[in-house]
Amino acid sequence: MSESDPPGPAETDEPERARVEHHSRLVEAAIAAEFETGAYEETLAEAKRHIVYRLARMALGFTVLILGLLAIPLPGPGWLIVALGLGILSRDFAWAERTLDLVRNRLPQDADGRIPTKTWVMIGVATAMTASVSTWWGFFR
């Protein structure tokens, strides 16, 4: 067989067969992990559906986190967006939960660990003022 001859069916099927086998092993492992770690899955269909929800939640969390990191140097609530992204990711990643706990520990808290309403109001006022000044500066100046 020369180099210019097309490969036979057995030669082209081997990489495809290996890829399909690898994919099926990954799916089986994901479903097994979902049954072990998930709280609501009783059937195979529910486990598969929850995997899709989990992947969508992870994609949303990383998107929000990246947008928050990009918004930090800009006027507005960059750190608040980062905290929101970490909150979404903390359902699936331990590092996100630990990082979110570090952020929470630096915020002023009541005796029961809640953030006082006064602090939330101040954050909202500061965010609204920053957004207003940024809008004025960008459009009306």
Two tokens, residue 9: 């069916």
Which pLDDT tens digit goes with each residue over 24-60? 777 777 777 666 665 666 676 776 777 788 888 889 9
Within 38-116, where are the H helices?
A: 44-71, 78-89, 94-105
Amino acid at 113: G
State how far the alpha carbon of 32 is from the alpha carbons of 8, 43, 95, in Å: 37, 11, 23
Q: Read off the pTM.
A: 0.55
Q: Do residues 86 and 64 touch, judged by C-beta distance below 8 A?
A: no
Which pLDDT tens digit goes with each residue over 73-82? 877 677 778 8
Domain residue ranges in the chain: 9-106
